[in-house]
Amino acid sequence: DTAVSQTPKYLVTQMGNDKSIKCEQNLGHDTMYWYKQDSKKFLKIMFSYNNKELIINETVPNRFSPKSPDKAHLNLHINSLELGDSAVYFCASRGELATGELFFGEGSRLTVL
């Protein structure tokens, strides 16, 4: 029973298209995140939601729009895809507030051609 699950795991698409990645967690956590991992494995935070409210929005192009219909779901929609958007996108949820430990999904590898 996967704690943090993302779909799809792989996504290959053309430049200019719009795509979405979905994330769900069954851990009962209030806070969820999207991280982007580039080809050099660098992990950069993109967004965070706490109980459906946006709390972190790092310098991300507005082509990226997160949506949280409830605290167990955080989806990522990307408009007008560009080559530089190719990366692995990781969803995560946060455990105890005191320690800040993150639980990661398995990642969604996006390839833009």
Partner 1 sequence: AQSVSQHNHHVILSEAASLELGCNYSYGGTVNLFWYVQYPGQHLQLLLKYFSGDPLVKGIKGFEAEFIKSKFSFNLRKPSVQWSDTAEYFCAVKDGGATNKLIFGTGTLLAVQP
89 interacts with partner 1 by CB under 8 A? no
Which of the residues 12 through 41 are near partner 1 (CB under 8 A)? 31, 33, 35, 40-41
CB of 80 to partner 1, least distance (A): 27
| Segment interacting with partner 1 (CB under 8 A) among 11-19, 62-70, 71-79, 91-99 | 91-99
For the chain, how long is the longest CA-to-CA vector?
A: 42
Write out the DSSP string of 41-84.
--EEEEEEEETTEEEEE-S--TTEEEEEEETTEEEEEE-S--GG
CB of 102 to partner 1, least distance (A): 6
CB atoms under 10 Å from CB of 31, counted, come to 21
Smaller CB separation from partner 1, 17 or 32: 32
Task: Please name the residue that has the structure tokens 């109980």.
Answer: 51
At residue 107's C-alpha, the angle toward residues 103 and 113, to 5°, is 155
At residue 70's C-alpha, the angle toward residues 52 and 26, to 5°, is 115
Task: Candidates 56, 60, 65, 67: give the one binding partner 1 (CB under 8 A).
Answer: 56
Smaller CB separation from partner 1, 8 or 16: 8
By CB under 8 A, name the binding residues for partner 1.
31, 33, 35, 40-45, 48, 55-56, 90, 94, 97-107
